Structure 1
Amino acid sequence: MPSTLKLSQRETAFNNEVVTRFELYNSLFQTLPFYQVKDTGILLPFFSSHCEKEANKQLSPSEIIESFFKKYVPDIDHREQINRMFRFIQYIERQVVLFDAIEDSSFSKIGREDETGTMQSLLQQASVSEQQRTNIAKKLDDFTLRLVLTAHPTQFYPGSVLGIMTDLIEALKTNDINTIDVLLQQLGKTPFFNKKSPTPFDEAVSLAWFLENIFYHAVSGIQTKLEDEFELDTHRVNQLLEMGFWPGGDRDGNPNVTADSTKSVAAFLRQRVFRAYYRDFRVLKRRITFRGVEKFMVTLEKLVYDNAYSKQDPKNVAPEILDTLYAIRQTLIADHDSLFVKVVDDLIKKVRLFGCYFATLDIRQDSRVLRKVFNYVTEHRKAETGIIDGYEKLDEAEKLEQLTFNKVDFHCPADADFLIADTLNTIRLMKQIQHTNGEKACQRFIISNCQQASDILQLIDLFLWSGWDKDGLTVDFMPLFETVNDLTHAAGVMESLYTHPFYKEHLKKRGNLQTIMLGFSDSTKDGGYLMANWSIYKAKVELTSMARKYGIDLAFFDGRGGPPARGGGKTHRFYASMGTEIENQHIQLTIQGQTVSSQYGSVETARFNMEQLINAGIISALHPNRNDLLDTRHKELIAKMADESYKMFLDLRQHPLFVEYLEKFSPLKLLSHINISSRPTKRNTDAQLKLEDLRAISFVTSWSQLKQSIPGFYGVGTALNKMKDSGHWEEIKDLYSRSGFFKTMVDNCTMSMSKSDFRVTAYLEKDKKFGAFWKMLKDEFELTKAMLLELTGSTVLMQEYPVERKSIAIREKIVLPLVIMQHYALQCLNDCQDEELTKIYNKLVIRTVYGIVNAGRNLA
């Protein structure tokens, strides 16, 4: 734990840099270009205070809203009350942006709560001795970090708003009041949401903003720093830093992603990286004006400009660009005293990092779809494929024996089902993208809901039947294990693959590196917070052991969402606490939802968070904490707690009121109307909602809107209490103080709970139908809170992280009126018979969702 002095310094800095400045600049909202903005600005503090005070009395949202208007604006009718609420929403949404920008602008003064995880810390360790420097350099040569941007529907800010935020952060760093005022005026005029749902291509454009404006600079900056400090192999096969991309490639349950959208996104990423190169080239051109380089500069300009702006037939020109840059570099060294070599080196580094593709476009599809495609092709070309009649009825061992891996040139008939045609067309398209953008442009196929080795081997057959050769199969096949059951059997599935002759040979050609994706979101929805975390931990231990048994280099790709309930939280601490039983030299994780803008929204924050991940991987490998290697007794204790919470979570899921409660009191049914994603909120089109069809992101978002973070804590308190009652409390306290894994899990749970507020729904305790159900949820919250406070020796949740706790508290206070208005509108909807009013209430609910999620930063 950081020293008390350091904590008080950070708190003082937070108060001065964030709290005081927010209060100061918040007054500028009085001049925003909204209708009656001054009236709204004057009224809103009274409304916020009223919501806080009346929520403490456990009044219903309807009582809170109605009493407010009766007291403060008594002479307006119901329609005008609703108009006022919409204006409150406009105002609060922009207050959230201002608070975000002020916090981000103060990052260098308050953001670095854990200096031990920075690049500076790594360099300090390297300076201890030459041997230590050599050890770090050696680990860096084996280490890789891949961040994958995914199109999950919680990145609410459009590119226009992100651009304003970026400029606002810079203006706030110098307290440039005039620029801040103008930017807030611009913010007031700029829409915060789409009038229609984005296409997969729209999502790609939105997330590519971060590639172009943030990661292009942050990744190359880190690479430069590491190469300057350590003698790294710049021609290694696996890059140290890589970016991945899912919009346009992730078609699992998203019928709007097609081969055409995949092709368009790949072309767009290519164009954007060349435009970034061209901007850098123009700087280069202004500096390098010497004799002997003219012809190289002409060649370079044509290569970069043509690929950035013309519609020519594209091809992978990265090697040609690099050769030209190296020729320029050599001339500068030989004839011009190395003047401006660093400018050339910077562009060389970026081309090496991003090639002609910017980020690897991952393809993902569900195993059930892939099985249908496999069966379709074998039915049409049985003789050539060599697959016997009745194959699908064989058991797994027999299937593995029967697979033939024959090459077949199968072209999908025009009358084929959409999913079948899309799968086969996409497999062919991957080859084309590799030809135009380079192999790394599209080389990974992720099989979600992977349950058996044949799911992967049958997909390989589909590649061999769609234009790919065995010797030229430049594709990595990645199983995604998600449910508790699938995680339990994951190691056995991988052993079947490692021992299969064809797959073993394929893996050898791919550098003997196997990537396995593990999904936190669905495992939490399936088994609850403790069981999901423990199942993934156990699976990682077993999968690591299996890979080491067969000499396989293993990379875990973690599907980590924003909130702790979906694997989020203190990410670098999660990786630093893996222990030697878990392979950790390749860190791969999804960056999604508000996590993109909150942790990677500026070059400074992106560099800091990436440096922490690098540090976590390197230092945990060089200096493994023996306490992170859980002993048999500690594993028994965690397993018992996981089982206990699992039983409780399953009982909750099976409760007859569970789904109805979510549908009635959260915006779940309306999430599909929020125009932030091309992906449906559930996996089928049935009118009746089934929990198994509900996407994990919708599940977690609904609970967060209710201000009941059930997926992030439910069952934890009961499990801890059972340990205490059975006489194991001292062991649990010892486990918390010694195990980085268990401490991180507990601390992330307290973060989830800090964003809960049962006052909002306290009126439900008196509800005849749902009262007992609500009380069951509240009782578990209170029990968990009490047990966690006792376990951590705290008097308040997140006591160890006071600045983060205060930040959450301020954000929750800003959006409490949004929460009250949302629940008021939901209450009105339950009794409304007026069609026009129903539409207005729906809109009111939908509009509140944006601000609540954005303020939470990792709520969905």
Structure 2
Amino acid sequence: MTQHAARPNGRRTAPAAKDQSPALGAAQGDANGASAAEPKRPASRSGTKRSPKPKLSIVSSNGTTIAPTARRTADKDVPLREDIRFLGRLLGECLREQEGDAAFEVVETIRQTAVRFRRENDRAAGAELDRLLKRLSRDQTNQVVRAFSYFSHLANIAEDQHHNRRRRVHALAGSPPQAGSLAHALEAIDAAGVTGKQLRKFLDEALIVPVLTAHPTEVQRKSILDAEREIARLLAERDLPMTARERDHNTAQLRAKVTTLWQTRMLRDSRLTVADEIENALSYYRTCFLRGIPQLMSELEEDIAAVFPTTRKRKGTPGAQPAPLAPFLQMGSWIGGDRDGNPNVTAETLEHAASQQGQMIIDWYLDEVHALGAELSMSTLMVDASPELLALAERSPDHSEHRADEPYRRALIGIYARLAATSKALTGHAVPRRPVAPAEPYDSAEAFAADVQVVVDSLRANHGQALANGRIEALARAIGVFGFHLASVDMRQVSDVHEAVIAELFAAAGIAPDYAALPEARKLELLLAELRQPRLLTLPWHEYSEQTRKELAIFAAARELRARYGKRIARNYIISHTETLSDLVEVMLLQKESGMLQGTLGSKTDPARMELMVIPLFETIEDLRNAAGIMQSLLDLPGFDSVIAHHGVEQEVMLGYSDSNKDGGFLTSTWELYKAELELVQLFEQRQVKLRLFHGRGGTVGRGGGPTYQAILSQPPGTVNGQIRLTEQGEIINSKFANAEIGRRNLETVVAATLEASLLPQQNAPKDLDMFEAVMQQLSDRAFTAYRDLVYETPGFKDYFFATTPITEIADLNLGSRPASRKLMDKKNRRIEDLRAIPWGFSWGQCRLLLPGWYGFGSAVKSLLDTAPDDKARKLAVTTLRRMVKTWPFFSTLLSNMDMVLAKTDLAVASRYAQLCDDAALRRTVFNRISKEWHLTCEMLTLVTGHQERLADNPLLARSIKNRFAYLDPLNHLQVELLKRYRSGKDGDDIRVRRGIHLTINGVAAGLRNTG
């Protein structure tokens, strides 16, 4: 068997670059290191024998056959290198055409010099590169920055396409299921003795929710993203057999799209509004989620039926059919409801988000129903239809005699008319394709789903199984997932604001003149007493402050939206900086004031029911340590058991990765999150309440990022249990979901990991766990001391940070609607504590230090070993650490993520940013400490893992990162020069300098891929 893994014969190979080396190697698909197509495969836990891989011959684009025995990893990357060279050639041609030969030669000279410097370690090339970059004019600088930035964008597209290609090669070859796939998960679950009945019951109760958030790290404009999606589509076409004319036409289209990129403004000229962020997020639904989630659930049903045969039947269906799965995979959003530090989010933006979401999903339903009306042309002269279907057709406003014998079409025309009326009623939006006649709107998505199910069941019962398994079944699944709301919109606000609102309400009502100054016990006493009152606290004629009016309006809007779109549109309320029980009870009282808390807390005759689940967000190290205690106090509240029962005996807790990292460093943050999760699991198991953890992960490792599959599997035992929500933030959303196939694969990975983490808990419990946890505590304590000593206790560190990173310019860049800090900061009063964790991590990535992802580990391990009483104890400690890596997924994942961050760190580049600090003594002190810790961390990581090189167990990623450096170097060097010019004041008013800085930020972010 010969498999064409590279290209169909006859495809024209793009000419190689002058240096005759690929621009980049394979890179991360999960945006953080693990390929979305080929995640690292852990050792099999099932004990089952796998069939050997078929041996394949790889045929390259020039027809050369590579023998199976000689095949190497690099050979698999031939098509990737060809794609990168091809797209690079198109970009070069565009540059020459648009800017002239001189501009092209400047860029090409810089590219070749940077490659020679980075890959050959040529010091002379490094000096030459520095001279070349410093001699550039302002216009040339921007041309160079744009060229290198767009090259990174195009390389990312090529890498994603290569992941898809490799996945297809494995599928065609019949390779064993890969880790992260549903097939692999089900195989392991089956081998572990889980029955099909147990699995189905588990999925009936499961809930997996990726939550899209709008944070100021997505540096791409929607226009750019749209053009890049089309480039990805056209590039994928080139793997298909093409005639010469078709290939030339494809090349012409790609050339046009690359030209579009070059002629489109890369940066926004004004700050994004919340409405813009809503629109950007919605674009991923049409690209990925609307079809990807139903497809994924359909495939899971098929796989379950194959692995776990069942005799359960669908109603009215002859023969055994896979039982339909509950819509356990749903979507969430913070966009339009997240007010924490963002004054631009109001009741109006919440209503706008719901309206836009409703309009999008109903428009999509209308398109699908219209297409089905054309497809389902069956006549009762040829085949029977169910009585329910015939009745549905009779209720249709379509009475054309031409369709008298076509009940499916008449029924669908009626469904379309009702949907059109629903669109008008919910969103005020008149559909462009008018129905045949007015009809009554659906009062719920469930009513719409019932009509669609009538069509499905009739097809299945009347020789239409093949038709039922197509578009109509995908539509039925989509309705269960998306309803009329598309995604649940979480509301979030910081606890200080709630306290201020309650204080004003209490003062106006004469209950407490200064509620905020009261001790916690007294606050709870007043809050609980007010919750038991049948009357409202708010006074109808009192003039409240703007803040209080806005907060009360949010609750009122949520209540109205739930009545309009269904309860799933708004069901979660997250309290940032939850530090006390009163922080949670305050939101309960605000719900009472808005009519979303019925009954009375503690009443046996009229128990309390709360519409929005109150969800604490524990962010800092101290908050994480107090989490279990606060939740125990909440569960102990008299009458709160009825609130829990109203929510299905479930309670969600959100854990913040970003702020805990900024507060205590990477190692301590990760460890405190682990401990908090275990304590919460123990508490909730004792109370027999289902715990759902909401992981506030970001893109960088310092913010909880890393390959999703490994991250979920490394969670403490019992913490997943089929219930998980996790944030998808910043540019990670685009990296994961802009490509439909990559997006579906990432969703599959989340589901597969959740299944394994929930149903195979033994993988997370090594026999020496108690000892491992004790060692981890010691490491955490030592790392915490080292990190805090640098960031919070080193005089002048904040000044060093603001001087040597582009944090100020990032705050000025029109990245998102949210400010870079919760508090306005001038130069004298700025503090690390007030800075948002997102731009904090983003800034360290720009200067190539990525400090939040590794600092403190080296000192921690060295201190642990140095305190050993003798050599024997020291060797034992090293042996223990190595066993922790091999047998404890939590620790091995932690080190794997840190390994990737260390590989992306570049001290030589970072030293250039250090020169931006005018205080020479401060510069030497801080940078030398960071440099020393980096070398120590690499040394200790090598000692523990046994790997001399970074990413030794992931050579694809190692090569990708190494090759990317050559194209990031010019961007970083130019960013430093531009920052010098801008901050000196001499060129501060030159728009080209400011634009150049922002362009370099864009380019570096694209090159690193996981900076947000």
Category of TM-score, reference length = shorter chain: over 0.9
Deviations for 1:352-404, whole angstroms, at most 9, x for unmatched residues?
1100111001000000000111111122234xxxx566654443344334412
Q: Are 2:870 and 1:723 aligned? A: no
Return the alpha-carbon distance in structure 1 between the equivalents of residues 723 and 672 of structure 2. 20
* 1:100 equivalent in structure 2: 156
Greater shift in the superposed pair: 725-734 or 578-587: 578-587
For the Cα contact (< 8 Å) 1:360–1:441, is it kept in 2? yes
In the TM superposition, residue 534 of structure 1 has moved relative to its aligned partner by: 0.4
Alpha-carbon offset, residue 417 of structure 1: 2.9
Query: Hey, what's the Cα distance between the residues in 2 that align with 1:346 and 1:759?
Result: 53
CA contact (8 A) 1:58 1:762 kept: no
Evaluate the alpha carbon distance shift between residue 162 and residue 338 of structure 1 in structure 2; reply closer, same or farther with a 3 A threshold. Answer: same
What are the superposed Cα offsets for residues 185-230 of structure 1, whole Å, 9 maximum, x if unpaired? 2222233221100111110110111122211111111112223344
Residues 609-642 of structure 1 show CA distances to partners (whole Å, capped at 9, x for unaligned) of 2222222222233322355356221111111111
- In structure 2, C-alpha distance between the alignment counterparts of 1:123 and 1:13, rounded to whole Å: 31
- CA displacement at 1:328 relative to structure 2: 2.4
Q: Give the one of 393, 396, 411 matched to 1:296.
A: 411
**Stretch of structure 1 that moved more, 48-57 or 117-126:** 48-57
Distance across 2 between alignment mates of 1:594 and 1:184: 21
Q: Which residue of 1 aligns with 2:846?
A: 705
Partner of 2:520: 396
Shift of 1:163: 2.3
1:47 paired with 2:110, answer: yes
User: What is the 5 A alignment of 1:2-41?
Assistant: 11-12=73-74, 14-32=76-94, 35-41=98-104
> What do the CA deviations read for 1:682-729 (whole angstroms, capped 9, x no partner)?
111231321111000111111111111111111011112223332221
Instruction: Determine the structure 2 residue equivalent to 1:497.
Output: 634
Task: Please state whether the residue corresponding to 1:556 is helix, strand or coil.
Answer: strand
Aligned pairs (5 A) from 1:742-757: 742-757=891-906
Q: Give unpaired runs (5+ residues) of structure 1.
A: 71-77
Deviation of the 1:736 alpha carbon: 1.1
What residue in structure 2 maps to residue 666 of structure 1?
805
Contact 1:89 1:818 in 2 (8 A): yes
Quick one: structure 1 residues 789 and 327, their matched pair in 2 at CA, closer, same or farther if it must change by over 3 Å? Answer: same
Contact 2:506/2:515 (CA < 8 Å) preserved in 1? no
Whole-Å separation in 2 of the counterparts to 1:770 and 1:809:
28
Alignment CA distance shift 1:236-1:680 (3 Å)? farther
Q: Is the 8 A contact 2:418 2:442 kept in 1?
A: no
Q: 1:756: how far off?
A: 1.1
| 2:245 corresponds to 1:180 | no
- TM-score normalised per structure 2: 0.79
Of 760, 770, 773, the match for 1:635:
773
SS in 2 for 1:116: coil
- Tell me how far apart the structure 2 counterparts of residues 302 and 254 of structure 1 sit (CA, whole Å): 40
Residue 23 (structure 2) aligns with:
none
AA paired with 1:28?
A: L
Q: CA deviation at 1:150?
A: 0.2
Q: What code does the residue aligned with 2:265 have?
A: P
Question: Aligned partner of 1:301: which letter?
Answer: Y
Contact 1:315 1:435 in 2 (8 A): no
Query: Which residue does 2:232 correspond to in 1?
Result: 169
Contact 2:720 2:757 in 1 (8 A): no
Instruction: Determine if the alignment matches structure 1 residue 351 to structure 2 residue 479.
Output: yes
Partner of 2:331, secondary structure, is strand
Matching of residue 476 in structure 1 with residue 591 in structure 2:
no
Structure 1 pair 228–589 and aligned structure 2 pair: CA distance change class (3 A)? same
Moved more, 119-128 or 455-464: 119-128
> Is the 8 Å Cα contact of residues 707 and 760 (structure 1) preserved in structure 2?
yes
Offset, 1:126: 6.5
Match of 1:201 in 2: 275
Alpha-carbon distance change, 179 to 133 in structure 1, aligned in 2, over 3 angstroms = farther
Is 1:519 the counterpart of 2:684? The answer is no
Alpha-carbon distance between aligned partners in 2 of 1:278 and 1:411, rounded to the nearest angstrom: 45
Aligned residues of 2:849 and 2:905 also touching (Cα < 8 A): yes
| Distance in 1 (alpha carbons) for counterparts of 2:978 and 2:461 | 73
1:760 counterpart SS class: helix
- Structure 1 or 2, whichever has the larger Rg, is 2
2:988 matched to 1:851?
Answer: no
Indicate the larger mover: 121-130 or 730-739.
121-130
Matched, 1:436 2:564: yes
- Residues 185 and 753, structure 2, Cα contact 8 Å, conserved in 1: no
Shift of 1:155: 1.9
- Secondary structure of the corresponding residue to residue 579 of structure 2: coil
Range moving further from structure 2, 204-213 or 412-421: 412-421
Alignment of 1:37-116 (within 5 A): 37-51=100-114, 67-68=131-132, 81-110=137-166, 115-116=178-179
TM-superposed deviation, 1:241:
0.4
Following the alignment from structure 2 to structure 1, what is the Cα–Cα distance between the partners of residues 812 and 76?
Answer: 38
Deviation at 1:408, TM superposition (A): 3.9
Three-state SS of the structure 2 residue aligned to 1:18 is: helix
Are the counterparts in 1 of residues 859 and 937 from structure 2 also a CA contact under 8 Å?
Answer: yes
Check conservation: 1:648, 1:715, Cα contact below 8 A.
Answer: yes
User: Distance in 2 between the 1:542 and 1:64 partners?
Assistant: 57
Change (3 A) 1:236 1:373: farther
Residue type of the alignment partner of 2:261? L
- Flag the 1:777–1:347 CA change in 2: closer, same or farther, 3 A: same
Q: For the Cα contact (< 8 Å) 1:306–1:312, is it kept in 2?
A: no
Following TM superposition, by how much is the alpha carbon of 1:16 offset from its aligned partner in structure 2, in angstroms? 0.9
Mapped to 1, the partners of 2:853 and 2:502 lie a distance apart of 38
SS at match of 1:515: strand
**Is 1:578–1:584's contact at 8 Å kept on the other side of the alignment?**
no
Aligned counterpart in structure 2 of residue 685 of structure 1, from 810, 824, 837 = 824
Deviation string for 1:541-581 (max 9, x for gaps)? 01111111111100000000001000000221121122425
Find the counterpart in structure 2 of residue 284 from structure 1. Answer: 372
Native 8 Å contact 1:645 1:719 kept in 2: yes
Query: How far 1:238 sits from its partner (Å)?
Result: 7.7
For residues 59 and 455 of structure 1, the distance between their equivalents in structure 2, rounded to whole angstroms, comes to: 61
Residue identity opposite 1:717 in structure 2 = G
Ranges in structure 2 where 5+ consecutive residues have no aligned partner: 1-39, 44-51, 54-68, 171-176, 239-249, 305-309, 315-321, 379-405, 430-440, 600-608, 869-873
Distance in 1, matches of 2:128 and 2:920, equals: 17
Distance 1:111 1:675, change over 3 A: farther
1:49 positional shift:
4.1
Q: Please give the alpha-carbon distance, in whole angstroms, between the structure 1 residues aligned to 2:129 and 2:540.
A: 59
Distance change in 2, residues 1:854/1:413 (3 Å): farther
SS in 2 for 1:420: helix
Worse-matched range after superposition: 309-318 or 189-198: 309-318
Q: Over aligned residue pairs, what C-alpha RMSD do you find?
A: 3.0
Q: CA deviation at 1:174?
A: 3.2
- Asked if the contact 2:588/2:597 (under 8 Å) is kept, the reply is no
Q: Distance in 2 between matches of 1:117 and 1:377?
A: 51
**Structure 1 residues 560 and 413 mapped into 2: Cα distance closer, same or farther (>3 Å)?**
farther
Kept in 1: contact 2:782–2:859 (CA 8 A): yes
**1:58 Cα deviation after fit:** 8.5
* Residues matched between the structures, number: 846
The answer on whether the counterparts of 2:271 and 2:814 sit within 8 Å (CA) in structure 1 is yes
Q: Identify which of 185, 200, 225 aligns with 1:137.
A: 200
Give the match for residue 748 of structure 2: 611
The answer to whether the 8 A contact 1:515-1:557 is kept is: yes
Question: Within the alignment, does 1:466 sit opposite 2:594 as a pair?
Answer: yes
3-state SS in 2 of match to 1:257:
coil
Question: What is the TM-score when the length of structure 1 is the normalising length?
Answer: 0.92
Deviations 1:586-612 (A, max 9, x none): 121000112112122222112222222
- Cα distance in 2, alignment partners of residues 197 and 452 from structure 1: 35
Q: Which letter does structure 2 place at the counterpart of 1:601?
A: A
Question: How far apart are the structure 2 equivalents of 1:574 and 1:687?
Answer: 38
* In structure 2, C-alpha distance between the alignment counterparts of 1:91 and 1:411, rounded to whole Å: 61
Letter in 1 for 2:732: T
> 2:373, 2:409 within 8 Å by CA — same for their partners in 1?
no
Correspondences of 1:539-688 after superposition (within 5 Å): 539-625=676-762, 628=765, 631-653=769-791, 654-688=793-827
1:714 to 810, 831, 855: 855
Give 1:829 shift.
3.4
Shift of 1:734: 1.2
Quote the offset at 1:828 in angstroms: 2.6
Give the equivalent residue in structure 2 for 1:75. none
